[in-house]
Structure 1
Amino acid sequence: MHFKWNYEPPTPERQKAAMELAEKINMSPILADLLIRRGIKTESAAKRFFRPMLNELIDPFLMNDMDMAVDRLNDAMGRKERIMVYGDYDVDGCTAVALVYKFLLQFYSNIEYYIPDRYEEGYGVSYKGIDHARENGVKLVIVLDCGIKAVEEIAYAKEHGIDFIICDHHVPDEVMPPAVAILNPKRHDSTYPFLHLSGCGVGFKFMQAFAKNNGIPFMRLIPLLDFCAVSIASDIVPVMGENRILAFHGLKQLNSNPSVGLKAIIEICSLTGRELTMSDIVFKIGPRINASGRMQSGKEAVELLVEKDLKRALEEASRIDRYNDQRKDVDKQMTEEANKIVSKLEEQKHLQSIILYDENWKKGVIGIVASRLTELYFRPTVVMTVSGGMATGSARSVSGFDIYEAIKSCSDLLENFGGHTYAAGLSMKKENIPAFRARFQQYVEEHIRPEQTQAIIDIEEEIDFKDITKKQHADLKKFAPHGPGNPKPFFCTKRVYDYGTSKVVGRSQEHIKLELVDCKSSNVMNGIAFGQSASARYIKSKRSFDIVYTIEENIYKRGDVQLQIEDIKPSEEEQTQE
């Protein structure tokens, strides 16, 4: 794939600011400019960025209703009421349930957890779940990563003497459920200074407040931070502000002393002994937790996450790993079918969005297929199937386009919907699909910008190979953890040449292993270009080319730097000559 390269050179003013900041923090001006791009312009802000401190976490009682939530939980414990911890079946929901359940279980035993069945109950608070609570004498439900739209369901629970505390981070409607407390930084009347917590993050803040109110040392919460890191990476929330603190210390916990369940997943993924990153969570750990809810039951994922015995955890992790293999097979088949449909629909080519419906597709995998199509065609995508007689869909978006608002514009055609800027879920009567398709596509065409439907790569700095030193790489590692709001930086180097030893590698000869030099130094840089073997002939022609890449550590040779090359283009002078 060839990207459109987007690069804005620093202004003279920013160059001067970068030089001044670089001197204060003992870093290269290149990296100081990366900080300035992230809104970090002072020495003290840089120190806070590189060394996020747990004592800088926001006071949880600044969140609306937090005092009421803590009071109701204290009352339930004091009266020995049965408590249910209820959560969504995805990674964020499962980690949130595991975190709250594990923490409270240290102080209170009359507690259980519940994850709804994706296929029988669907997303969010279900009547079946409430009836289960009634039958088991539950008086308080703590619902995590969902619930903000469950107005009727929570009213039904209230009629039967069951109170709800909602811990959610999805965008609420004007009318909110009749819960005892609603903890959600995205409330329209929110007073909380950070909007972008994950569902697990909201659960953590609730437990932080509960601990503070009851004189429980904060140290008791630290072992649960690995769940926060897994949720932040998997739910793709911004890794900035309070999330950066939680992710930074959560990764430390994951690397030094993970919970037994996560340790088992790490072993099953063959990640033991490696320094785990947010990418390892996104591509290895998260999908296995998700696979349980997609293919079977999310409750199995929570059972694993709260397990105390490593032997049993490894058995449970192996089962979940098999679910992940099954998920991959279904995902591959559905994506191929969806691609065939899109490629056949000539009329789709002029449209700015993709909407597909197939009654035979598996509900648990449509979100992944929507993501794949979005990545392939660079258009907001909705993939739907049938569940319980209704059309149920998952939507995914492209950079900068708010798909939640697009779906909200069609709310009169929907039975239910919810989500974020980049991912949402929805359900409707099957007969409403044609009207939804027309309305959604019209909204997208009126609101999407042309550049949002292109493959664009944002280059942060243009550098030469001489700039890539061991110190620079060590300093660059301090920018982690990465994610939205703090992406792994892309660098560009122009007029590089094959050193003479680059070669095509991989089972299908689809990758290129490179050894490169540029025209500014004699440094030979190693690189890998995945899936770009089409450029191999040009590279071996001894002509110059430009590259965009991230700077990585070679996992096989610790301490060695390797360029992970994202895109390759002939240099401008070579293009002119052609």
Structure 2
Amino acid sequence: MRWTLKPKPETSIINNLAEVLSVDTTIASLLVQRGIETYDQARKFFRPSLEDLHDPFLMKDMDRAVSRIEKAVSDQENIMVYGDYDVDGTTSVALMSSFLETLSSQVTTYIPDRYAEGYGVSYQGIDYAADNDISLIIALDCGIKAIDKVAYAKSKGIDFIICDHHRPGDTIPHAAAVLDPKRQDCEYPYKELCGCGVGFKLVQAIASKKGQSVDDLLLYLDLVATAIGADIVPITGENRVLAYFGLQVINQNPRTGFRAMLSQVKKETLTITDVVFILAPRINAAGRMKHGLHAVNLLKEEDPEIALQYASEIEIYNSDRKDADKSITEDALIQIAQNSEEDRFTTVVYDENWHKGVIGIVASRLTETYYRPTLVFTKSGDKLAASARSVKGFDVYNALEACSEHIEQFGGHKYAAGLTLKEEQYELFKQKFEEVVNSTIDKKLLTPEIQIDAMIEFDQITPKFFRILKQFAPFGPGNMTPVFMTENVKDTGYAKCVGADEKHLKCKMQKSGMAIGAIGFNLGSKYNSIIENQNVKIAYSIDENEWNGTVSLQLKLRDII
């Protein structure tokens, strides 16, 4: 691991903030690192308010989108809500269709089949709309590059409203409205909304024209918070407000489908991390293993018994997903070892029999293992489809753009993307991708980094200090859980490896007469470096440990040197 200590902000700014907030300078420094330098900024950070949400009409084309939907409702047109099969897409469809159903009985939903249609807007979906006399399609979490498909729909008398958050290409589709804060001609103040977030802004705009306030839309924010967590967008600005209130809904008044999924989980209060690791994989599993509509049905279901039945089906899909993910990851690791690809700057693997629904997860696993920009390919019809994942600091979307001569179609973000290409292009693409990454990546990015927020001593780790840290939540990109470093610490002599395969490290670290319990997940290999009573340096976050009804602070170790 590569340890990087974040630069300490200017002392005068830290001291001034510490004074106005009555907090210690470490807390003030953490806030300044997050761009918070004044009392008002701190108030907005610690006390998110729905009033801090932006006016949805600041988004380019919002007025056109609202007018087109109002016309469709008043003329009793058939409306299709279309979304991708991942968490962001299915939550978007559940949100938009639930809301529109309060205005019209002419609303249907459509999720493309991952295998038959692939990602994004499909000709099959448009044909389905035409066959069913649908004249308006609202596409969520996709569509920003669907220029030909939007034109095809137009030729069949079907209008499109696009709500997307992916990077546009050079041309914007000729739709009735295109909502995407990443459009160059869009001056919306916050650019990092997820697809469900853009959908929510459209709902907010329609509702405001009917005299409703954002408080009337709180019941939808559980879906938005889930999408924010699953899509790994920054939890800053508007996303922080949406995630904060969405988590409150999940914890205080969860929708029937969430309650059904959580019935097997012993968790009193869910954090955004719990949403990512408990709810999101289950929602995703439907689209990966069966069909994304199963997830939409669960998210919209209001009958508890039916919801439990849907949730148990999704639990089976999730179990199947885990099995497929495990076996494909093992196959891929063998393939990498056999091809002696350790010297490469990229990891690119392919097997025509791999399950298309889990190649994204496998790409993430391989990135964790080899820490290089990674692509996992499988056969999809007469083409090859791949999921791409990147390492922190490297833009894989740009790298794919540089290989576009070999690619049929691609889209995504800086750290995650998808593509298709013809089979005969595979080797040429693989070679080109390696060349592009080799020539553009800063080689230090190929070693995982731990970013340290601050150096502290054990006597600073008090209940009050932790209480304030907890209020930094919800955590995520742009506001990660603070990581601290303490030097010259020793184990008290009771360290042991724990877990089924003794992968984890449990110990108690001491310095200057103070000792504090610690757990290091996947740090079992560090056992030998601490048992010889030598001084070490530790990187950690601070957590709570509950044991036999007693709650105490503990260190969650990230690394030991």
Using the size of structure 1 for normalisation, the TM-score is 0.95
Alignment partner, residue 553 of structure 2:
561
Alignment partner, residue 360 of structure 2:
367
Amino acid at match of 1:5: W
Deviations 1:163-198 (A, max 9, x none): 110000111111222210000001121111111100
Query: Displacement, 1:216?
Result: 2.4
Mean Cα displacement is larger for which, 360-369 or 529-538? Answer: 529-538
Alignment partner, residue 64 of structure 1:
60
Is 2:25 the counterpart of 1:29?
yes
Alignment partner, residue 46 of structure 1:
42
Deviations 1:359-408 (A, max 9, x none): 11111111111111111111101111111110111101111111111111
Alignment partner, residue 194 of structure 1:
190
Is 2:379 the counterpart of 1:386?
yes
Alignment of 1:301-340 (within 5 A): 301-340=295-334
Query: Displacement, 1:350?
Result: 2.7
Deviations 1:176-231 (A, max 9, x none): 22210000001121111111100000000000000011222322210110111100
Conserved 8 A contact 2:121-2:143: yes
1:376 to 369, 377, 382: 369
Alignment partner, residue 2 of structure 2:
4
Report the Cα distance in structure 1 between the residues aligned to 2:28 and 2:337, rounded to whole angstroms: 45
Deviations 1:216-275 (A, max 9, x none): 23222101101111001100001111111111111111111111111211223x144x21
Query: Displacement, 1:121?
Result: 0.7
Query: Displacement, 1:439?
Result: 1.6
Mean Cα displacement is larger for which, 389-398 or 494-503? Answer: 494-503
Conserved 8 A contact 1:354-1:382: yes
Mean Cα displacement is larger for which, 437-446 or 90-99? Answer: 437-446
Is 2:134 the counterpart of 1:138?
yes
Report the Cα distance in structure 2 between the residues aligned to 1:113 and 1:223, rounded to whole angstroms: 20
Conserved 8 A contact 1:103-1:221: no
Report the Cα distance in structure 1 between the residues aligned to 2:553 and 2:104, rounded to whole angstroms: 50
Amino acid at match of 1:388: G
Alignment partner, residue 505 of structure 1:
498
Amino acid at match of 2:338: K
Secondary structure of 1:64 counterpart: coil
Report the Cα distance in structure 1 between the residues aligned to 2:213 and 2:414, rounded to whole angstroms: 36
Deviations 1:42-78 (A, max 9, x none): 1111111111111110110010100000000000000
Deviations 1:320-378 (A, max 9, x none): 111111111110111111111112222x2332111111111111111111111111111
Report the Cα distance in structure 1 between the residues aligned to 2:165 and 2:124, rounded to whole angstroms: 23
Alignment partner, residue 426 of structure 1:
419
- CA pair 135-373 structure 1, distance change in 2 beyond 3 A: same
Alignment partner, residue 296 of structure 1:
290
Amino acid at match of 1:319: E
Report the Cα distance in structure 2 between the residues aligned to 1:235 and 1:558, rounded to whole angstroms: 35
Report the Cα distance in structure 2 between the residues aligned to 1:564 and 1:474, rounded to whole angstroms: 16
Alignment partner, residue 573 of structure 1:
none
Amino acid at match of 1:171: R
Conserved 8 A contact 1:84-1:114: yes
Q: Percent identity?
A: 47
Q: CA RMSD in A?
A: 1.3
Alignment of 1:388-537 (within 5 A): 388-519=381-512, 522-537=513-528
Query: Displacement, 1:500?
Result: 3.0
Query: Displacement, 1:9?
Result: 5.1
Report the Cα distance in structure 2 between the residues aligned to 1:68 and 1:334, rounded to whole angstroms: 46
Mean Cα displacement is larger for which, 550-559 or 372-381? Answer: 550-559
- CA pair 501-445 structure 1, distance change in 2 beyond 3 A: same
Secondary structure of 1:116 counterpart: coil
Query: Displacement, 1:555?
Result: 4.3
Alignment partner, residue 575 of structure 1:
none
Secondary structure of 1:164 counterpart: strand
Alignment partner, residue 16 of structure 1:
12
Deviations 1:10-60 (A, max 9, x none): 26xx23321221121122211110111111111111111111111110110
Report the Cα distance in structure 2 between the residues aligned to 1:567 and 1:443, rounded to whole angstroms: 32
Amino acid at match of 2:270: L
Deviations 1:541-576 (A, max 9, x none): 22221111111122445642121111112xxxxxxx
Amino acid at match of 1:564: K
Using the size of structure 2 for normalisation, the TM-score is 0.98
Secondary structure of 1:103 counterpart: helix
Secondary structure of 1:550 counterpart: strand
Alignment partner, residue 118 of structure 2:
122
Is 2:353 the counterpart of 1:353?
no
Secondary structure of 2:35 counterpart: coil
Query: Displacement, 1:539?
Result: 2.2
Which residues of structure 1 form unaligned runs of 5+?
Answer: 570-578
Report the Cα distance in structure 2 between the residues aligned to 1:445 and 1:90, rounded to whole angstroms: 31
Alignment partner, residue 287 of structure 1:
281
- CA pair 271-132 structure 1, distance change in 2 beyond 3 A: farther
Query: Displacement, 1:507?
Result: 1.8
Deviations 1:102-143 (A, max 9, x none): 112122211111111000111111111111111221111111
Report the Cα distance in structure 1 between the residues aligned to 2:108 and 2:275, rounded to whole angstroms: 27
Which residues of structure 2 form unaligned runs of 5+?
Answer: none
Conserved 8 A contact 1:465-1:518: yes
Report the Cα distance in structure 1 between the residues aligned to 2:147 and 2:288, rounded to whole angstroms: 26
